Amino acid sequence: MDPLKIAVIGTGSIAQIVHLPVLKNIEGVTLNAICDIDDTKITPLLEKYGIPNGYRQADRLFKTEKLDAVHICTANHYHYPMAYMALMNDVNVFMEKPIALNAADAQKLDILAKERNLQVLVGMQNRFRDDVMILKEFIEKDELGEIFYIKSGWLKQYKRKPFTKWKTNPKKAGGGVVLDLGSQLIDLALFLLGMPKIKSVRLYDYSLNPDLNVEDAALAVIETVKGASMTIEVSWKMHLEKDMIYTHIFGKNGAAYLNPLRINKELHGNLVNVTPYTTENSAARFKKAYESEIQHFIRVVRGEEENRSSSADAVRIMRIIEALYESARLKQQVDLNE
């Protein structure tokens, strides 16, 4: 089988920490090129990873290289145009979240990919964690009974450090902490429940830093059509001594917790810990999840597996987030009734 020819667009931290080293070590993959507007990043990365070609403009990349796939690791506002350009050049796409800045553009990419028989995988790495897959199997086998409530949060500790400028610009980021951190928790909750239809949403957003143009703390309330409820709290700068990242799932016959994984089930009138044994720490778990995600994308492009983080799912997440922002603007619940 011929090696897959891949390029990476955007060579910031996520590309350097995850994408480039993982791709370099996957058998049957050739890193043909990287692309970034910052010249100072290109040359050292070409030398470090033995990549033959570097580009400053994506259109030049696609005109010159014959690619099977591209990894998009740019700032948010470049995700849609870069992915659209790739698909129009018959190139499969792996992109970091979000798929686009709005649901309309997200749907355009989903439709275009289907029309051209190409794949778009959106980077929701929680879907590829071993502990999440174990928990999902428990839920699918009805081990916890009907799930009626999920409580999730990602609260970053108090640190006086500058924000990446584009992340606090709504025209470039598409939103604040809800889109940045909340989208991953929303996706995780819905993924665990099998992507249920949503009835309504309510968002309470806050500005802890008056210098920012986007929300930096928020509480989202989501209700499914079948009556399950979710609360999701996020913040870039909470007054905490350390970060808090958690997901709690409550069913009628048991409950489960992530970070670390813990599963408790009611058996014969007693609460029993039925958590499978694992020795992985959180750092190893997340590193392995990113590796699994990228390896899965390679198999999807080769037609060996079904896309586990599709553009269709990403469109739904963007619609929910748009509804949440509308709720905050109106200061009331917004009905989706999917």
DSSP character string of 134-197: HHHHHHHTTTT-SEEEEEEEEE------PPPGGGG-HHHHSSSHIIIIIHHHHHHHHHHTTS--
Residues 132 and 266 in one domain: yes
CB 97 within 8 A of CB 178: no
* Region 294-307 average pLDDT: 98
- pLDDT digit string, tens, across residues 318-336: 999 999 999 999 999 999 9
Residue matched to tokens 């910031």: 12
Q: Identify whether residues 261 and 119 lie together within a single domain.
A: no
Name the average pLDDT for the chain.
95
For residue 72, the enclosing domain spans 4-124
Position 43 in a domain: yes
Say how far apart CA 307 and CA 297 lie, in whole Å. 7
Total structural domains within the chain: 2
pLDDT of residue 49: 96
Residues 33 and 174 in one domain: no
**pLDDT for 211:** 83
Q: What confidence score (pLDDT) does residue 279 get?
A: 63
pLDDT tens for 126-184 read 999 999 999 999 999 999 999 999 999 999 997 766 678 898 899 999 999 999 999 99
**CA separation for the pair 205, 185 (Å, rounded):** 16
Domain assignment present for 299 = no
162-168, Cβ contacts within 8 angstroms, sequence gap of 24 or more: 163/212, 163/236, 166/75, 166/76, 166/77, 167/214, 168/212, 168/213, 168/214
* pTM score above 0.85: yes
Cis peptide bond N-terminal to 98, omega within 30:
yes
* Neighbour-count burial of 50, counting CB atoms closer than 10 A to its CB (0-12 exposed, 13-18 middle, 19+ buried): exposed
CATH number of residue 25's parent domain: 3.40.50.720
For the residues 297-322, what does the mean pLDDT come to? 98
Instruction: Report whether pLDDT(5) > 70.
Output: yes
Handedness of CA 12, 59, 86, 184 (dihedral sign): positive
Same domain as 233, residue 134: yes
Q: pLDDT above 70 covers what percent of the chain?
A: 99
What per-residue string of b and e applies to 150-170 under the rule 16 or more CB within 10 Å gives b? Answer: bbbbbbbeeeeeebeeebbbe
pLDDT digits (tens, 9 = 90+) for 191-245: 999 999 999 999 999 998 888 899 999 999 999 999 999 999 999 989 999 999 9
Listed residues 75, 90, 124: the one ending a domain: 124
Distance CA 317, CA 122 (A): 11
Query: Distance between CA atoms of 7 and 67, rounded to whole angstroms?
Result: 7
Do 68 and 111 belong together in one domain?
Answer: yes
DSSP assignments along 60-121, one per residue: HHHHH---SEEEE-S-GGGHHHHHHHHHHTT-EEEEESPS-SSHHHHHHHHHHHHHTT--EE
* Higher pLDDT pick, 123 / 162: 123
Q: What is the pLDDT of residue 162?
A: 63
Q: Which of 67, 102, 124 is the last residue of a domain?
A: 124
Boundary residue ending a domain (59, 94, 124) = 124
**Secondary structure of residue 124 in the 3-state scheme:** coil
Specify the 3-state DSSP secondary structure of 331: coil
145 and 211 part of one domain: yes
Q: Tell me, yes or no, whether 226 and 112 share the same domain.
A: no
Structure tokens at 110: 């989903």
What pLDDT sits at residue 337?
A: 84
77 and 142, same domain (yes or no):
no
- Say if strands 270-273 and 334-335 run parallel, antiparallel, or are unpaired: unpaired
Q: What is the mean pLDDT of residues 65-77?
A: 98
| pLDDT score at 158 | 77
What are the pLDDT digits (tens) for 91-100? 999 999 999 9
Please check whether residues 104 and 212 belong to one and the same domain.
no
Confidence at residue 160, expressed as pLDDT on a 0 to 100 scale: 64
Q: Do 268 and 208 share a domain, yes or no?
A: yes
Question: Which residue carries 């028989």 as its tokens?
Answer: 117
> Is 31:8 a contact under the CB 8 Å cutoff?
yes
Nearest to 222 by CA among 312, 139, 320, 147: 320
The reply to whether 111 and 140 lie within a common domain is no
What percentage of the chain has pLDDT greater than the value 90?
Answer: 88
Domain match, 111 and 151 both: no
The predicted pLDDT at position 270 comes to 95
Burial of 27 (0-12, 13-18, 19+ CB in 10 A): exposed
Residue 139: HSE in the Cβ half-sphere, 13 Å Cα cutoff: 25
| Confidence grade of residue 277 (pLDDT, cut at 50, 70, 90) | confident
Residue tagged 């990549």 (tokens): 51
Helix, strand, or coil (residue 238): coil
